[in-house]
């Protein structure tokens, strides 16, 4: 997606995992630049990225601590708390991007006191890497390995060598193509990636969706430079779907749930993905970890996730793998 791509307040809210009213508040405070097209408010993608960079939390590799880079609260942190030189070991940090983790963080905040519960918005690959580097308490992932046909375990074994882990299922999620309403280009299967008459828009490197695409095209022996639009990236499912709705591409890959939030987009299912949370076995006694397991396995959490639509929670809370 181009940096000057106009976004609606709702699209910005979905990208930043905040409410639309919070977006309006940020605009009112001049934290995010905006403009009007007729009576409609629009925000350029470059201004969203600028805001994210202003408020981004970085890790000081020498001190092993989180430091605040701006006086604005970290998006996604609970109770809008500020992050100021907390040691990583004193934090409870959950890596991942899905809205399920927002629900999990809220339940954990209500259940356990005294834990600095933070969200670290990263794709599956980078989340596992953060877990390996000790910068996270737990990470979520949905990465498919074409050689084995198995989700997540092969990547956990490779990316956390010598680190025994357990994988707990959070949900199964349908992934497929976003296409224009009515699917005028008749884009239906993985084989359509070979076509030269359609253009795509991609997810960023490190996301589970990008891993799935790259594994599929390697399996099918399709050079990435033969896929028109492969190099164009979006940072969220909702951004991909919105680009399709605006006619910027013919198709893109993403979750079924995000297709519900964008008008003039249809969803073509391709694969059911396994979305798991990964925990190092040595961390199972860390305050809060047992609480997370209890929350995930509770009927209340299961019902809340199920009510969102687009999630299969039939195995939620089950141990689906160990390394």
- Report the percent of the chain where pLDDT is more than 70: 85
Residue among 41, 29, 112, 117 nearest 74 (CA) = 117
Q: How far apart are the first and last CA of the chain?
A: 38
pLDDT digits (tens, 9 = 90+) for 250-275: 999 999 988 988 999 999 999 999 99
pLDDT (0 to 100) of residue 40: 86
pLDDT digits (tens, 9 = 90+) for 211-253: 999 999 999 999 999 999 999 999 889 999 999 999 999 999 9
Domains 53-171+276-322 and 174-272 agree in fold: yes
**Mean pLDDT lowest for which of 19-28, 98-107, 167-176, 272-281?**
19-28
CATH placement of domain 174-272: 3.40.190.10
Burial (Cβ within 10 Å: 0-12, 13-18, ≥19) of residue 45: buried
Phi/psi of residue 24, each to 5°? -60, -35
pLDDT (0 to 100) of residue 115: 65
* CATH architecture for the domain at 53-171+276-322: 3-Layer(aba) Sandwich (3.40)
Domain boundaries, the chain: 53-171+276-322, 174-272
Q: Residue 121 pLDDT > 70, yes or no?
A: yes
Give dist(CA 31, CA 169) in Å, integer: 37
């Amino acid at each position: 997606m181009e940096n000057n791509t106009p976004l609606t307040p709702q699209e910005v809210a979905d990208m930043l995992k905040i409410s639309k009213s919070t977006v309006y508040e940020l605009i009112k405070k001049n934290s995010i630049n905006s403009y009007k097209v007729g009576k409609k408010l629009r925000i350029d993608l470059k201004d969203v990225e600028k805001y994210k960079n202003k408020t981004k939390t970085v890790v000081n590799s020498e001190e092993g601590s989180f430091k605040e880079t701006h006086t604005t609260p970290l998006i996604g942190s609970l109770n809008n708390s500020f992050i100021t030189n907390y040691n990583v070991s004193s934090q409870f940090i959950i890596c991942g991007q899905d809205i399920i983790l927002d629900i999990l963080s809220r339940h954990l905040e209500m259940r356990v006191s005294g834990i600095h519960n933070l969200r670290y918005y990263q794709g599956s690959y980078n989340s596992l890497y953060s877990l390996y580097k000790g910068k996270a308490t737990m990470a979520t992932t949905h990465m498919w390995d074409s050689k084995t046909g198995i989700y997540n375990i092969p990547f956990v074994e490779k990316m956390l060598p010598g680190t025994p882990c357990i994988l707990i299922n959070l949900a199964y999620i349908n992934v497929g193509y976003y296409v224009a309403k009515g699917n005028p280009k008749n884009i239906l299967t993985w084989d359509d990636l070979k076509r030269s008459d359609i253009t795509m828009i991609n997810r960023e490197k490190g996301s589970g969706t990008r891993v799935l695409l790259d594994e599929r095209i390697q399996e099918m022996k399709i050079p990435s430079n033969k896929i028109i639009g492969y190099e164009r990236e979006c940072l969220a499912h909702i951004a991909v779907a919105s680009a399709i709705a605006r006619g910027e591409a013919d198709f893109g890959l993403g979750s079924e749930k995000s297709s519900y939030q964008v008008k003039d987009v249809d969803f073509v299912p391709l694969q059911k993905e396994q979305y798991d949370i990964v925990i190092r076995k040595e961390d199972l006694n860390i305050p809060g970890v047992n609480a997370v397991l209890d929350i995930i396995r509770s009927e209340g959490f299961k019902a809340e996730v199920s009510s969102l639509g687009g999630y299969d929670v039939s195995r939620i809370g089950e141990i689906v793998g160990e390394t």
